[in-house]
Amino acid sequence: MCDLTESSSESTPKDGLTPSSSFEAKVNSLLNSGMTTESLRKKAEEYLAILNDPAFEADNIPLWVERISCRGQEGLTITKVFHAMYTGATQVGFPAGSRYAYAATCTCGGLAQTEATLEERKTRLVKELVNLAETWIAYFLWPYLVRWSSMAALEVPTPSLSATPTYDDTGSELEEGPQTRPSWRDDVLKRSNFRCFMTGYVDLAMEGWEDSGATARELNAAHIVKFASTNFQAVKSSASEIHSITMTLDILKHYVGLDSQAIENLKDFLSSPRNALLLESGIHNMFDRFMWCLISTDVPGQYKVKLFVQPSTLFNVSLPDVVTFEDHSNSGIPLPSPLLLRWHAALAHVFHLSGAARLFDDLRDLPGGSGPAVPSKSGEDFMENVIKYDGTAISKHAELVGAVQAMVLSQDH
C-alpha cells in the first residue's frame, strides 16, 4: 500500500472532501507533470488497495448500493468502478483516458497526506476514493444509460461560442440535445446505401428492394451519442444545472478526448451525419442500451464489433465481427465520427465492467409504472436522490412517490 505515514500542512475541508474545482486543478497538475503513465498506474493501484483492508471493506459497497438489488461480487463496487475506468479507455484505444483515471486516483492519495495522523489519512483516502467513484457514476454514467421518453428540453437562449468553452457556450446545447435537420435521415440513408451494416436489412425507401432478395424494414437513423440524455427538468436551480453540466464535460474532456474545438462546435457536430448510424430498430435499441459497441482498428473507417451480451440476445441473424464505413452517396456525406464512436464505446465498457449496467436496471422503472427512481438525467439529481439519500427506499424520489401513492390509496378507501 502507498505510504501514508507522511503528512503535509494543507488544511482539511470541513466535510472531509475536496471541492470539485480544487480537485480538478490537482488532477490537471498531475496530468501535466513528468510522471509516466506507468508510474501513475502503480501509485493508483497502491492507493486503491486500501479498500481491501478489512477495516474499510464496508466502504467498497456503499449503503446506497446495498439498497438496490445488485449486491456483492456480481454487482457494483467502488473497486470495480476504478478498474473499469482504468481499463475502459485503453480498450477503446484512448490510453489518455486511463492516464486521467490514474491521476484522479493519485490525487485522492495526495489529499489524504494532508491529515495529521495515519488513521486520519487512511480514513480521508477512503472518503476521497468513494467520492470520486460516485462522481463518475453520477455525472459520467447516469445521464447516458437511462432512456427517457417524456422529458421536455429547457427553454434556453442560443449560445454565443467563444474560444474557451464555458457552460454558457455549451451547457444549453447539452440540454437541448441533437437538433437534426429534416434531411438528416435522408443523408444517413444515402451514405449507408439504405442498408443496416449489422443485419444486412435494407430500408423500405430503397428503390427495387423487392427484387434485391434482402429483408426490408423501416430502418432507424440512430444517434451515436445522445446528448439529449443530459436534458434536465426544471426542478433544479441554475447553479445545480451548471454544476452538473460542468462535471460531465470535465470528465468527458479527459476520458474520451472531447477537446475545446469539439465542445465549441458541439451543436453542429451532434446534429450532423457524423453522429449517426443506420440500424434496424432492435439493434438500435441494444446500441442505445450499450449492449454492443464499435472499436476502431488501424484501418480508417473500420471497426470491430464488440458484444456485451450473447449474440442471440441481440438478434436472430449472424452479426459481423468487423464493419467498414464508406460514403455510398457520392456527395461527400461525412462518415460516423471516430470520436463519438469512442465516446459510446468507452461508456459501454465502464457500464459493464463496473457493474453499473445491472445496478441501473433497478433504477430505470419504479414498480407500478411510476417512472424512474430519479426525476431527471442530471448527475446532481442522482447524487441527491440516490447517493446522498439515507432512507430505506431505493431513492428519495421513490420514497416520495410511494408516500403519494399510499396517500391516494388511503383516500380511496
Transcribe 304-325 into DSSP letters: EEEESS-HHHH-SSPPPSEEE-
Confidence of residue 195 (pLDDT cuts 50, 70, 90): very high
pLDDT for 376: 83
- pLDDT of residue 407 exceeding 80, the answer is no
Q: What share of the chain has pLDDT > 90, as a percent?
A: 54
- Going through 88-193 in order, the beta strands assigned E by DSSP cover none
* pLDDT confidence of residue 160: 29
CA 87 distance to own-chain centroid: 15
CA-CA distance, 285 to 290, in Å (whole number)? 9
Name the residue with higher pLDDT: 250 or 264: 250
The yes-or-no verdict on residue 14 having pLDDT over 60 is no
* Residues 215 and 202 sit within 8 Å (Cβ to Cβ): yes
Mean pLDDT of the chain: 82
What is the pLDDT at residue 171?
42
**pLDDT reading at 218 higher than 80:** yes
Give me the mean pLDDT over the 12-17 stretch: 51
| 196 CA to centre of own chain | 25
The per-residue pLDDT for 373 is 84
For the cut 80, the answer to whether the pLDDT of residue 179 exceeds it is: no
On the question of pLDDT at 73 being above 50, the answer is: no
What is the pLDDT confidence band of residue 392, given thresholds at 50, 70 and 90?
confident
Mean pLDDT: which of 11-25, 103-117, 153-167 is highest? Answer: 103-117
pLDDT digits (tens, 9 = 90+) for 113-169: 999 999 999 999 999 999 999 999 999 999 886 554 433 332 222 222 222 333 343
User: What number is the average pLDDT over the span 86-115?
Assistant: 96
CA 329, CA 299: separation in Å to the nearest integer?
Answer: 21
Entry pTM: 0.84
In this predicted structure, what is the pLDDT of residue 165?
36
